[in-house]
Structure 1
Amino acid sequence: MILITGGARSGKSRLAEQLANEKASACGGNVLYIATSLVTDDEMARRIEQHQQMRPSHWRTHEGYRQLGNEIRQQSAFFPVVVLECITTMLTNLIFDWAGDSDPDRLDYLALERWLEPQIDDLLKASTESRSEIIMVTNELGCGIVPEYPLARHFLDIAGRVNQKLAQQANEVHFVVSGIDMKIKG
């Protein structure tokens, strides 16, 4: 498993796609691209479309953010390389699924994290047991200021713990800054 982290617009996706191309070419296989974003407005629709146009047309795309461990288990026999883009967006979507229309100031964040934990653990288990090369992209959120609002602070905490768990299990970890890849593990 390879984890690629860095700030927004740092070049993480480009690196993930480059590594996926290299690994797929080396084994003569194809790539499964798991896209976790949802179209929430016109701007997001444009961003998703730009990402789609950048990817090779022969890659298969699975759009979703739930039960990704199962998706990896089901597809790894067919795809020697899987790109999961991105963990932070997946977490956002799962958190909003769990919270619904609840007031963020009244959420039980410990219960939320307990609900998320088995899903993350299952994703990690599927990724580390898979014969496919799994390339995960996530955002490094710990380099900025601590957010003002409780939901954002708790999201930062949750994403930070998830990223630590992923990095611990990954064979390689890359940190991307301004388009420059720094391999920090493996």
Structure 2
Amino acid sequence: MTHLWNAMSGVDHRNPGVALFGLTDPNIYVELNADGTHVAADVVRLTYKAKNPDRIVLISDAVISAGGPEGEYGYMGTTVVADAKGVYYRDNGTLVGSRRLLNESLGRFIHAARAPLHEAVRMATLNPARLLGLARRKGSLEAGKDADVAVFSRDFRRARAVFFEGEPLAVSAAS
């Protein structure tokens, strides 16, 4: 289920809605954006407690300006405004996407859900690989798999090293 909680019916005791279906069906993967804007921290925690962690896929929903400065940007033929919370259409204020990259959302998820690091990392790596049918090569560090690795600072805000298929990639000083 794409973007659990976003632009979908809420949960009501008489009309369960789409979100509750995603939480209660054990076969469905749900995407969760824990960037601090799309879903409130208490709802992130509820999702983690209610859904099998093997079926949660952490996403970023990062769009133009992600990881960059606040300001106005041209995006898909219109103007958007990036502020501390997210990226919004200038003309109507509708949320377009996140300014946070996945590493930052991962740190926010751990804090909001009170989840252990290993489980949160699996939600951002192995779970999406399983969902996409790529788990034989991607999503975890095991012999015979592609060595895609990102090493972050303790607060998840800075990339210290990045490897793609075992080869180091340049990491900018701003990372």
TM-score by length of structure 1 reads: 0.33
Q: Flag the structure with higher helix content.
A: 1
**Larger RCO of the pair (alpha carbons < 8 Å, separation 6+):** 1
TM-score by length of structure 2 reads: 0.35
